[in-house]
Structure 1
Amino acid sequence: MTDNLANNVLGHDADVPTIPDLAAAPPTPSYGQVQLKSDGVHLWLALPPDVDGDGNTISWAAVLQQLRQRLEATTTDREPQIDLYLQGGDRLLDVRQLQTLAETLHEFAITLKRVVTSRRQTALAAVTAGYSVEQLAAVDHLVQAPPQAGRPQVDPLYLQTTVRSGIDIRHGGTIVILGDTNPGSALLADGDVIVWGRLRGMAHAGFSGDRNRRIMALQMRPTQLRIADLMARPPADGPTEDWPEVAYASPDTIRIARAQDFAKTQLSPGGLGFEDP
């Protein structure tokens, strides 16, 4: 596929998942309180942190009890089979807790679709459990405007997993996947996208507008690549050989080069950063 990804296509691919617009501000987590809020399309659930403002621990059982009470009180105000986005804030959640939460929601015909969190462990648990995830540096970022190009990057998000179809992952820094991404999945990073495996879904680096970001994979078989405002699809006749490759932005298109060739001329000695092509 090397240097053959000049087939830029504007529009929407059927194989690329529709990424929801999170511009509408979800509810802000409140000390000790479970909150529900509708944005007109989705239902948002905001969880309290593990410890309230007085230093008291808020147990998971207490959270589930509050949630059930809120759901029972608002049953008549909701459409059936509604999708829910969870704003976990800085509360630490594991796979078992997410499954229990999903089961509770299911009793009220609500489906858990996405987890927004500032905890890396929660983000990993969400992907493992099969939910889309947005992992941010701080809870405050959830109610701010999208970040500007060139802003400081948050720490990379490392996930050792297979990203299944229908799952999308958002992160304000670099995303590193130790595994494969399947068709129908999506990775959206303000930084670089690195897949230590087969990239077969959609990848978007420089999501906030930075064209200097890169997409790297051991096997580059994407349904679609995006870097900042540029978008490209692979040619219909795929490569006959596979090797580590890097996708980068030229002045008006996205190009791909073998990693070893790209490194000789483009790689900066500063680690993950790259010089302008």
Structure 2
Amino acid sequence: MVSDSPTPTERDVVSELTETSEPTPSGGLNLHRHIRLKSDGGHLIVQLPPQSDSDAAGELTWLELWQQLKHRLQASDRSWQPNTRVRVMAGDRLLDSRQLQELDDALSEAQLKLDRIFTRRRQTAVAAATAGYSVEQPLPQDLLQQDDEPTATALAEPLYLQTTLRSGTEIRHPGNVVLVGDVNPGAEVIAEGDILIWGRLRGVAHAGAAGNRQALIMALQMEPTQIRIADSVARAPSDKPSQYYPEVAYVTPQGIRISRTTDFVRPTSTISKSN
């Protein structure tokens, strides 16, 4: 998880670029009107202002925000190196595929590369993943409260995607992930819950990322580069089956096992692949 603001231990490595923001009448920064830029350990952070549910007085349109970003990038001291990777902190702001492309274009003009979208909006996450960007969804603050019972840990709502994840794309979500499409080699899906791939899993899948050893990884065709469930790690057997079936990966006391979904139980045996 990545916080929108640095912790005290991060202050030595996070230096905010000079801003030329107009103050509000009270002398503070109007967060509904300004994009913030930060340099963070080799990355550039672009923090978009929050978006209200209703038309707030003085809230900028998307065109105005986009023009502001282009102006800020052109007017800054350009302390970054060419091809510096950019992380966009979208928060609750709703972005569609066109707006994401416009963000990418503006950053490309400044010799920057859009690397990852952090968002709490499912629609934005779906649009970004479909467009081929890496996505991370922080867990909403109200779900971070720990219950007295360890089994009562709350997960975010499932994330449903209909796309093929290309090499270099990473999806992170604090719940279950359901993907209709393939996960190509070099792509990663990381979830705190289960992962269901309605297609071919040929990249990396990490279920139960927060430590849930009961999490599952399911795919119509299981050919992963690596699979992880909680702290257990495994690779698919090197021998290729003559015919593929929907399969499920799960943790046993001896490690991770892969079985046909029709035969799925939780036996205590070493990792293998059923025929």
TM-score under structure 1 length normalisation: 0.79
1:223 corresponds in structure 2 to 225
Q: How many residues align?
A: 236
2:19 corresponds in structure 1 to none
Per-residue deviation, 1:128:
1.7
Instruction: Write out aligned runs for 1:1-277 (5 A).
Output: 25-27=3-5, 30-51=31-52, 55-56=56-57, 57-138=59-140, 140=141, 151-262=153-264, 265=265
2:91/2:120 contact within 8 Å kept: yes
Higher relative contact order structure (alpha carbons within 8 Å, sequence separation ≥ 6) = 1
Per-residue deviation, 1:200:
1.0
Distance 1:190 1:63 in 2: 33
2:32/2:60 contact within 8 Å kept: no
Residues 4-26 of structure 1: per-residue CA shift (max 9 Å, x gap)? xxxxxxxxxxxxxxxxxx55x44
**Percent identity (aligned):** 49
2:200/2:220 contact within 8 Å kept: yes
Which protein shows a greater Rg? 2
2:160/2:177 contact within 8 Å kept: yes
1:36/1:45 contact within 8 Å kept: yes
Per-residue deviation, 1:27:
4.0
1:90/1:119 contact within 8 Å kept: yes
Distance 1:134 1:72 in 2: 28
Unaligned runs of 5+ in 2: 7-29, 145-149, 267-275
Distance 1:178 1:53 in 2: 34
Which secondary structure state, in structure 2, belongs to the residue aligned with residue 183 of structure 1?
coil
Distance 1:54 1:245, change over 3 A: closer
Which secondary structure state, in structure 1, belongs to the residue aligned with residue 245 of structure 2?
coil
Which secondary structure state, in structure 1, belongs to the residue aligned with residue 220 of structure 2?
strand
Aligned-pair Cα RMSD in Å: 2.4
TM-score under structure 2 length normalisation: 0.79
1:84/1:112 contact within 8 Å kept: yes
